[in-house]
Amino acid sequence: METILELEGGRLVIAVGDITSFDGIAIVNAANSGLLGGGGVDGAIHRAAGPALLEECRAVRSTQLPEGLPKGQAVATGAGKLRCGRVIHTAGPVWHGGHSGEPGELASCYRACLELARAEGIASIAFPAISTGAFGYPRSAAALIAREQAGAFLRANELPARVVFVFFSRVDAAAFIDATGGR
Residue ranges binding ligand ADP (CB under 6 A): 18-20, 30, 40-42, 44, 92, 128-135, 166, 168, 172
- Among 18, 23, 42, 172, the one annotated catalytic: 42
Residue 171 Ramachandran class (φ > 0 left, ψ -120 to 50 alpha, else beta)? alpha
Nearest distance, CB of residue 42 and ligand ADP, angstroms: 6
Nearest distance, CB of residue 99 and ligand ADP, angstroms: 19
Nearest distance, CB of residue 95 and ligand ADP, angstroms: 9
Distance of alpha carbon 176 from alpha carbon 183, whole angstroms: 10
Smallest Cα–Cα separation from 130: which of 177, 89, 83? 89
Active-site residue, 42 included: yes
Rounded to 5 degrees, φ, ψ at 180 are -100, 0
Q: Are 40 and 131 in contact (CB under 8 A)?
A: no
- Shorter beta-carbon distance to ligand ADP: residue 32 or 77: 32
- Shorter beta-carbon distance to ligand ADP: residue 44 or 52: 44
* Positions marked catalytic: 42
